Structures are given as structure tokens and as C-alpha cells.
Chains A and B, each alone.
Chain A
Amino acid sequence: MLYFDDKQSLVAEILARYPSSPQGKRSALMPLLREIQNAHGFVSEPHMAEVAALIGTTATEVRSVLSFYSTYHTMPTGRFHLQVCSTLMCALAGSDELWDHLTETLDVQPGEVTADGFSVQRVECLGSCGTAPMLQLNDEGYYEGVTRARCDSLIAAMRAGSAPETDHPVPVVVDADGRQFLATGEAVGANTDSLYPLSTKPKSASSGGSV
């Protein structure tokens, strides 16, 4: 059975996001590949042919597009596919050491899958520069501010069978009075007591357009 055989409503929902022209239909290529990869961890040759048939192109075209992007895999990945950002902002926070520690502890190199289901990949900037270094788990989310101790405890939890919930820390938050705080509650910026909203009164609908 093909992957989308029993998921026709999902296919229809994805196709409906784009115009019904042949050009619009092709836009469904990436979302369809994403569905397959999320289910199987990678995209196989038969899957490429299946996607090609759905959007009216060839499997070669699908492979051409797939190979352009770095988050599609054509080889199986592990149950815990861990991706380490290695770009400068994370490197300044020790991502090279994190990578070495991870690959040594798990005894795995890119392209391999361990018996207990780990695979690793070095990736480029994932937008976690303020909470570096980081690990991305599968297509699920990030672990941020990963210290050596946290890395070890994450690995231990995964080895025991389940990955801890991924993070989503917001480094700086704004309170109702418009003051900026760290997530820890520490106020930032000098004289924060005197900070108040410049204009909390929205413009009325009739007053616009003129000077």
C-alpha cells in the first residue's frame, strides 16, 4: 500500500492550500515530503515516485528538489535523531565540545544509527543563538542551553526509552507595564521604574490618514 492511500483527505487539505493550476499543485511537493519523513524518518525512492504522481511530475524532479534541502533524509535515521547547531554563535558557547562529547558518548558518526536508536547530524544555525548551545530532536523541537550535565541527562533519559519534552524558553519577556525582564524575573535596562508605554491609546478609526 502506498503511504497516502488511506490519507486522501490530508492530501486534499494540503493541495487546497495552493492554486489548482499545475504550478500550484507542485507547491504541495515539500509538505507531502514532510509528511512522509515525519512518519518514516526518511524518504525512500518509492515514496518519491508516489509524491511525483500526486503532483504530476517525475520522481527525478522530486529527488532533485529533495536533495536541495538539508532536512530531508534519504537514509533511515534513528528514533532519536539529534542535530547539533555548529554555527558561530553556538560554537562560541562550546558546540564543538558538545558535538565531540555526543558522538563519543553515543559512539556514532553521521550516517550511522546505533543499536539503541541514536543518529547524529551537524547542522547550521537554527535560531537559538541566545540560548546556545542547542540540540534539535527529530522534527520535534529544541533542547536549549545544553550544558555537559544536561547533555548527559538527556542521553540517559533517551537511553531509558523516552525523550524529555523539548524546550521553548523565551529569553526576554515584557510585562504588562511594558518593562523588559529576563525569563528569570530579573529586570533589565536602567531606570526600569520610569519605563511606561509611550502611547497605550490606540488610534480611533476615524482619526487616521491625516497629519
Chain B
Amino acid sequence: MTIAPPRPITSGKDPRFAPTLYASVGQPESWTLSSYLLAGGYQAVQRAFAIGNDAVIDEMKKSGLRGRGGAGFATGLKWSFMPLNDGKPHIVICNADESEPGSFKDRYLLSEDPHQLIEGMLIAGFAMRASVGYIYIRGEYVKAAERIWEAIHAAREAGFLGKNILGSGFDFDLQVHRGAGAYICGEETALMNSLEGLRANPRLKPPFPAAAGLYGLPTTINNVETFCAATQILKYGWEWHAGMGTEKSKGMKLFQISGAVLRPGVYELPLGTTFRELIYDWAGGPTEEIKAIIPGGSSCPMMPFTDAVLDTGMDYEAIAAAGSMLGTGGVTLIPRKDCIVSATWNLVRFYAHESCGKCTPCREGISGWMVRMYEKQVRGQGQPGDVQLILDMSDNIGGRSFCALADACLGPVLSSIKLFREEYDALANTGVAMYPARKRWKDA
């Protein structure tokens, strides 16, 4: 019996906190079934079987877990959308397409602790009366896909997957589907099209996946980290999970940090931990003067590197109040001496490349106009008025595209113009960047 902590844990330095999602990452042979069992694996699913499917959904709701893929939708509520007694097979999908620039947490969960994910999908499958689960893993994660397949085979042999799992009467199996390099597959309906062997264009919603998803069957899609968190919640109880984080953002999160920082990597910390703690205490501090923070993956608006931002808690509400998003928790630090127009152009180019071409605002707006306007700037061919034109274009793209990809591109565009207008204007007006290209690559 765990006792709910007296006050919420919002710091990785709180003595009551310890990593659980990443507890096995980096330990020898952590990906094998024997290591997982030794660490207490597959006890969470047994508890799920003991308390019953509705109680599992109830536990998820009370835990306060929200989707860790970026949108932050309440997981228990999402699970409860699956129809009951409709006579159709239900499907659970794991979104392991991790492709938001700045995000690299799922990669290590997949390769170092695949059984934690399998157990989480089992729990989800049991709660939602599903019979099959698909893990859609990005094509480039070769080692992770190998480890997941190995883990699935081992779990089948040990009776954790298949018919009448552990005598519960519950039948469930898992398959792996490898992607082939398309950012849009992170969008859940595009992912389902991709899994069906189609071009990964997003689908119109409604119907939502819980009503008609993969193959037209009731489907629920969650991120890798969300399923792994479900395993931990069933293992330690909802009170434990709800004891971490803030009032509306509960639990732990895998934060990733990259860019100009001493110790880039993935750190598991409670939600509500400040940027300052992540950047200085865990990641060792910046390696040079910083001007901007991307707080949660490339689509989240940039924030200035100020004391106010550094003291902001990394949770859904606090970052939203500060004008950005928690996203995937992928923090990137941009140095003062790097041209912000050039850095933003890099991201615009990414979105232009990844636009699926389905809708006009994104195809023509991002892949056509936006990327060309940025190319014009970084080549020194800008003219006075160009920055205003970019803003006008953004106004005509924002909120008008079929899915969120175009809006994702506008995150860095609008925020960087707002924060660093003088850099944009200087480049557009004179053709010369305030911060010219410099040597960044290490010799050894």
C-alpha cells in the first residue's frame, strides 16, 4: 500500500522522486525478458487482470496521466471512448514514429526496455477489450525494431502474449509495423493510413479512431511513453502517479535536451520541474550564451532565455501560459551567435519537406511560399517588407490547414519573428545576417 505524498513532487531533486520509466535504461541486457522479470516485470498486468478492465480505466483516469506524444489529452478518458459490447474486434496502436525534431526519448524506451511497452499495451488492450495491437515504429529505428520483435517473441513463448494470457481468459497479440520516413505518420489518422499500406495522408475527423480507426475498427492510439507510464501506474498505483507534478499535469515525464548544453540527453523528471533545473542541474548548463529555448520539440514556439522562462515549470499549463507548449518535452537551446533566421529556415525546410501535399494551405503555403521566402532571406536576397509578407502568409495559413502540420511550422516562424524581429529586419534590409555562419563542427 502506497501512501499519497503530502505535497506534490515537482523536482527531480526531491528525495521522494526516482525514475521509473527509464529505471532499466542503460543496464546490461535490460531488453531481455529475464532482466525485465527480475526487475518486477509483468506484475502490473497481473494486477490489471485482478482488478478488471473498467477498474483499469478508472485507475488511469484517477492517475491524471495525459498523452505524452505532445497533445496532452487525458489518457483514461481516451480509453473510455472505446465502445463496449459492439461485437467488433478492437485495436490498440502504439505511435512509435517519434519524428518531431528534438525528440529522442521513445528510441531508448523501445530499444532498452521493450517489455515495459509490451506490458503497457497489454494493459491498454485488456482495458479496451482489444484483441490485437500494432507498434508503428519509424523505419530508421532499426535496432529498436529488432529488440521489440525479440521481446514480442519472448513474451509469446512465456505466455504473456497469445491466447488466455496468464489464465485470465484475455487473448491479445502484438505486431510491429515499420514506417519509411514520413513525419506526418505521427498524426494518428495518417499513421493508420500508412499501416493500411496507403499514402500517409491524414483522414477527416470525425469519425474519430475510437469509432472507426484502423480497417474501420474501433482503435486507440497512444505514444510509447504513455503506454510505459500505464505500466508504472498499474504497478505503483494511481496515488503514486498523482503525487507527482502539478494540479493538472500529473506524473513523470521524459525530458530531452539538445543543442548548446554540456550534457545533452534524456532525463526523467516530475512534471512541473523548472527549465532551470533541467538545463543547469541535470544537463550541466549551457556551453555558451543562449538566446532562445525550444521547449518541447520543433513545433513549439520558441521562448526567450530569460529568468522568467527558466523559472517556469515544465508542465502543460505553465508553458501554455508562457506562450508555448510542453509538446514532447524535447528542449533545444539556441545560442546567441547563431542566426535565428537561418535556424528557423532549417525548421521551415523540414516542414516543407514533410508536408503531405493533401491540403492547399500547407502544400502551397509552407512547401511553396514559406520555404522560398526563407531561402530568399538566408541567401541575402531579402527586401524591406519581406518580414511583413511572412507574417501575412502565416495569417492565411494558420488554422486553415487539414491537420496540425502547417500550424506546427508556424510555431517557430511566428515566435522567432516576435522575439528576434531585429535580426529578421537586418537580414531582409541589408542582406547581411547579424550573426554570420560560424564553425560548429567538432574536430575530435
Please give the residue numbers on chain A whose beta carbons come within 8 Å of chain B beta carbons, in ascending order. 17-19, 21, 23-24, 26-31, 33-34, 55, 64-65, 68-72, 86-89, 91-98, 101, 123-133, 136, 139-141, 147-150, 168, 170-183, 186, 188-191, 194-199, 201-209, 211
Contact = CB atoms under 8 A, between A and B. Distances in A.
A140 B197 contact: no
B442 interface: yes
Contact of A125 (B49, B111, B350): B350
Nearest to B200: A68
Nearest to A16: B175
A180 B178 CA distance: 31
List the 6 closest A-B pairs by CB distance, nearest first: A173-B26, A94-B441, A178-B18, A171-B265, A29-B197, A69-B180
Given A31-B178, A70-B181, A86-B346, A203 B235 contact: yes
Interface in B292-308: 298
B172 interface: no
B300 to A, nearest CB: 13
Contacts of B103: 127, 129
Contact of B13 (A26, A27, A168, A191): A191
B205 interface: no
Contact of B281 (A28, A126, A147, A189): A189
Given A91-B343, A129-B101, A171-B265, 17 more contacts: A19-B215, A27-B196, A31-B177, A69-B182, A89-B101, A89-B102, A89-B332, A93-B440, A127-B103, A128-B104, A129-B256, A130-B266, A173-B25, A175-B27, A179-B18, A180-B22, A198-B17
Given A68-B200, A173-B25, A127 B180 contact: no
B386 interface: no
Contact of A87 (B47, B101, B215, B282): B101
Contact of A124 (B237, B263, B350): B350
A58 to B, nearest CB: 13
Contacts of B69: none
Contacts of A190: 13, 281
A94 B23 contact: no
A147 B440 CA distance: 10
B265 A202 contact: no
Contacts of B260: 92
A132 B104 CA distance: 11
A95 B101 CA distance: 14
B90 interface: no
Interface stretch (B133-141, B389-397, B398-406): B133-141
B196 A26 contact: yes
A71 B180 contact: yes
Contacts of A207: 1, 237
Q: What's the interface size class on B, roughly?
A: 35 or more
Interface in B385-444: 437, 439-444
B217 to A, nearest CB: 9
B240 A206 contact: no
A15 B347 CA distance: 38
B443 A149 contact: yes
A170 B26 contact: yes
Contacts of B194: 30
Given A141-B143, A190-B13, A197-B18, A125 B259 contact: no
15 contacts: A69-B179, A87-B346, A89-B332, A92-B258, A92-B334, A93-B440, A97-B441, A124-B354, A125-B100, A132-B264, A173-B25, A178-B18, A191-B13, A198-B18, A209-B58
A129 B178 contact: no
Contacts of A140: 142
Contacts of B183: 124
Interface stretch (B38-46, B77-85, B310-318, B364-372): B38-46
B175 A205 contact: no
Contacts of B20: 197
A209 B281 CA distance: 37
Contacts of B248: none
A98 B18 contact: no
| Centre residue among A72, A173, A176 by max chain B CB count within 10 A | A173
Given A29-B197, A65-B198, A176 B27 contact: yes
A30 B180 contact: yes
B112 interface: yes
Given A124-B101, A195-B17, A174 B26 contact: yes
Nearest to B54: A209
Interface string B352-374: 01101000000000000000000
B104 A94 contact: no
A92 to B, nearest CB: 5
B73 interface: no
B2 A129 contact: no
Contact of A147 (B12, B19, B437, B444): B444
B140 A136 contact: yes
B99 interface: yes
Contacts of B94: none
A154 to B, nearest CB: 13
A87 B343 CA distance: 9
Nearest to A137: B142
A168 B110 CA distance: 12
Nearest to A86: B346
B19 A178 contact: yes
